[in-house]
Amino acid sequence: RYMNNCVCIIKMSNEDDKERRHFQQVCNSYQQYATFHQVIEQGVNHRRERLLSSKNENAVQESEPTVESILQKSFSELQMKKNNELFCQATIRNQYFLDNVLKHAGAMTSQEILRLRNECTEAFEVEWTTEDQISKIDSVLKSIYRDWSIEGKEERSVVYAKLLSALDKYLPIRSNDDRGPPRVAVPGSGLGRLAFEIYSKGYSSQGSDFSLPMLLASDFILNGCTDRCQFAISPWIHETKNVKSLQDRLRTVNVPDVVATVDPSNDGEVAPDFTMLAGEFLSLYSHFLPGNGCVDNQQVESVEKFNAVVCSFFIDTAPSLPHYLITIYHMLKNGGLFVSIGPLMWHWSGFGTVIPGDLDGASKTSEGDFINAEHKQRTEHLDQRYLQSVDFTWEETRAMIVNCGFEILEEKCDIKTRYTCDVMSMKKVDYDCVFFVARKLPR
């Protein structure tokens, strides 16, 4: 789809059946969002009713408080009915936005599925989505709040402003450069706002992400929205802990705060382009590695490589950080920039831990590990990348960046920021992030 010079491309792998299955599962979670959350709320109301019906055997006199008297005075039937209506309206509001995403993607909306079920004369078997899948849609809505609302500007600007300033400082766009605008890769770009901001400044920007729920929403935001504040969403309705009021939980934000139809600020003859790729980072960019389509750096046309790789909350998503760093190194031209900001959460951490009993009767594996059958049985259901993941300190991470062939130009620790944080919540998580700018040294 084209929007001025902006192109959004979804590139998937060749495993057609597997990809179609995954796409359908994601569509199911989009279609069933409102139903899922309404049923969850019904379950909560049922628990309230069970509490009301419970007897307070410790109450000696009628004047003493009971479970029933406390709940009835706190939650009248009329108030509960009003609250349920407000909650239902919030789920419908979110479903309306999600249905527009589905429609843009060429998939059936929740209402079309409902009509199909009603019109079907035979038994209509529903493949219900899971809590895990719905949690991913909840994350999409929170990310939309962060990236594409006025309310999320303060949170995202702490991160994005530093990355954009680094590009301005170390990779300025020069007028009338016949080589074209600098090429910037933005892996882990999620809803695409950072990649869009880079493109808006006149760089050729290529975002990428592994999450199909995120990519469907970003494609719609970038290519399907026609007006500012076109949709109202309630991104916090799934939050039930540390909530001060129902109004906080159901409050709305309007999205998007800008329409992605800007003409990039580039004075050169070659216009910048904007692409979004779908896929796992190493799979998308492995062709830059020696032996995977190119023998060495000299045999790759320099125009194919990137002038910069810009990462926001990305490097700690690596199941194997050394492989990510080596790939980034080969993606870049000599002198190219590696710019990053984020914490070290290590998303693949915490699974497949070796405990003392795993060493009993252990034998050496072909990979050189010493594990027994019990450990193998306990971890065989896991993605094997969990078993390769190592949690590195920043000191170790920094050393690997340097050893990979980069020089550190800037480094700053303890940059306080949040990520999709509900500012009205009683619990807020602050990250002390690391920001650095590194340059690729020629070999």
Whether 48 has a pLDDT exceeding 90, the answer reads no
Task: Specify the range with the lowest mean pLDDT, choosing from 74-88, 281-295, 312-326.
Answer: 281-295
pLDDT at 192: 97
| SS3 category, 256 | coil
Confidence tier at 355 by pLDDT (50, 70, 90): confident
| SS3 category, 306 | strand
Q: What is the mean pLDDT of the chain?
A: 87
Count the neighbouring beta carbons within 10 Å of the beta carbon of residue 15.
Answer: 10
pLDDT at 362: 63
Highest mean pLDDT: which range of 195-199, 372-376, 378-382: 195-199
pLDDT tens digits for range 159-168: 999 999 999 9
| Mean pLDDT, residues 382-393 taken together | 79
Strands 370-371 and 363-364: antiparallel
Confidence tier at 3 by pLDDT (50, 70, 90): very low
With the C-alpha atoms ordered 153, 159, 162, 166, is the resulting torsion angle positive or negative?
Answer: negative
pLDDT tens digits for range 234-265: 999 999 999 999 999 999 999 999 999 766 66
Whether 324 has a pLDDT exceeding 80, the answer reads yes
272 vs 351, more confident? 272
User: Which residue stretches of 105-152 are H helix?
Assistant: 110-119, 131-148
With CA atoms as reference, report the closest residue to 394 among 324, 342, 337, 318: 342
Whether 57 has a pLDDT exceeding 70, the answer reads no
With CA atoms as reference, report the closest residue to 331 among 281, 370, 375: 281
* The token pair that represents 342 in the structure block: 């984020």
375 vs 399, more confident? 399
DSSP notation for 30-67: HHTHHHHHHHHHHHHHHHHHHHHHS--TT--STTS--H
With the C-alpha atoms ordered 89, 93, 98, 100, is the resulting torsion angle positive or negative?
Answer: positive
Is the separation of the CB atoms in 285 and 327 below 8 Å?
yes
Whether 74 has a pLDDT exceeding 70, the answer reads no
Q: How far apart are CA 16 and CA 346, in angstroms?
A: 30
Residues in CB range of 63: below 8 A, 6 or more apart: none
**By percentage, how much of the chain surpasses pLDDT 70?**
84
With the C-alpha atoms ordered 173, 177, 181, 183, is the resulting torsion angle positive or negative?
Answer: negative
Q: How far, in Å, are 206, 307, 384 from residue 175 at the CA level?
A: 21, 16, 48
With CA atoms as reference, report the closest residue to 194 among 226, 234, 229, 155: 155
Q: How far apart are CA 429 and CA 421, in angstroms?
A: 7
| Mean pLDDT, residues 79-105 taken together | 96
177 vs 191, more confident? 191
Whether 267 has a pLDDT exceeding 80, the answer reads no
Strands 370-371 and 406-417: unpaired
> Using only C-alpha atoms, what is the Rg of the chain?
25
Phi, psi of 147 (to 5 degrees): -90, -30
Confidence tier at 410 by pLDDT (50, 70, 90): very high
Confidence tier at 295 by pLDDT (50, 70, 90): very low
**By percentage, how much of the chain surpasses pLDDT 90?**
66
Q: How far apart are CA 305 and CA 333, in angstroms?
A: 6
With CA atoms as reference, report the closest residue to 255 among 227, 224, 274, 214: 227
Confidence tier at 5 by pLDDT (50, 70, 90): very low
Q: How far apart are CA 258 and CA 142, in angstroms?
A: 17
Give buried/exposed letters for 65-98 (b at 16+ CB in 10 A, else e).
ebeeeebeeeeeeeeeeeeeeebeebbebbbbbb
* The token pair that represents 411 in the structure block: 């480094």
What's the DSSP call for residue 266?
Answer: -
Phi, psi of 60 (to 5 degrees): -90, -45
Q: How far apart are CA 122 and CA 116, in angstroms?
A: 11
Is the separation of the CB atoms in 133 and 26 below 8 Å?
yes
Give buried/exposed letters for 181-215 (b at 16+ CB in 10 A, else e).
bbbbbbbbbbbbbbbbbbbbbbbbbbbbbbbbbbb
pTM of structure: 0.89
